[in-house]
Every structure is written in C-alpha cells, then in structure tokens.
Amino acid sequence: GAVVSQHPSWVICKSGTSVKIECRSLDFQATTMFWYRQFPKQSLMLMATSNEGSKATYEQGVEKDKFLINHASLTLSTLTVTSAHPEDSSFYICSARPNSGANVLTFGAGSRLTVL
C-alpha cells in the first residue's frame, strides 16, 4: 500500500531558529502533497497544498513567509518553519494521494515540533 514517511518525527528548537520537515512518498509518485497541522486535543487543519514544480497554495490565515514549502520532486516535499516561536509548537502531518489510484489520502506519522 501507499506509504508516506516524515522526518524528523520530533524536533525541539530554540525560538527564532528555522526547522525543516521532510515528507516522502515511498512507493508512489505524488504531484501534490498536503501539509496539515494538529494542535493538542484539536483536529487536523489543512495548512497548504504542495505542488511539484510550482508554488504552494496556502489556506486562509496561514503565513506563506513563515511556512515555506518546497516540492522538489514527485516524491519529496519539505516544510520549513522559519523564525519559529513557541506558538508554532504543534504536530505537523503531511499527506499525499498517488497520481494514479484510489481517492485515498495517506498520511505520514507526523512531526512533533516544540519551540522553546
């Protein structure tokens, strides 16, 4: 089945630094990948859509200059949280749907970011 891998699974950083999270589709190609965020005891919220070879599209209220997304290939998307602050601490989860296949969004295991 489709597998999505995220790295790192958890990261702690100091306020003001930048953190990069990788999302890879291991056994399929995905022109589009999706980044979600989940705060404690809240549901998942779509942040942005990552498009291979073009700019990401961001949901309303998500700062594109703070959350930089790069979709370098059909199997890799990265999310960089720039100048992180404690309020950016959250669980970031990427997802992807195979270019060819069922209408199923496969999620990665998530990356827990803690900003001190």
Partner 1 sequence: EDQVTQSPEALRLQEGESSSLNCSYTVSGLRGLFWYRQDPGKGPEFLFTLYSAGEEKEKERLKATLTKKESFLHITAPKPEDSATYLCAVQASGTSYGKLTFGQGTILTVHP
In the block, which residue shows the tokens 């195979």? 98
Chain residues 66-85 in contact with partner 1, contact rule CB under 8 A: none
Q: Where are the alpha helices (DSSP H) in the chain?
A: none
Which burial class, exposed, middle or buried, applies to 54 when counting CB atoms under 10 A from its CB (0-12, 13-18, 19+)? exposed
Answer whether 23's CB lies under 8 Å from 79's CB: yes
45 binds partner 1 (CB under 8 A): yes
* Phi-psi sector, 65: left (phi>0), alpha (psi -120 to 50), beta: alpha
Q: Which of 25, 106, 113, 115 binds partner 1 (CB under 8 A)?
A: 106
Q: Does 100 bind partner 1 (CB under 8 A)?
A: no
Query: Which of the stretches 12-20, 60-68, 72-80, 90-98 binds partner 1 when contact is defined by CB under 8 A?
Result: 90-98
12 binds partner 1 (CB under 8 A): no
28 binds partner 1 (CB under 8 A): no
Reduced to 3 states (helix: H, G, I; strand: E, B; else coil), residue 14 is coil
For partner 1, which stretch binds (CB under 8 A), given 12-20, 31-39, 62-70, 77-85?
31-39
**Positions that interact with partner 1 (CB under 8 A):** 4, 6, 32-34, 42-46, 49, 91, 93, 95-97, 102-110, 112
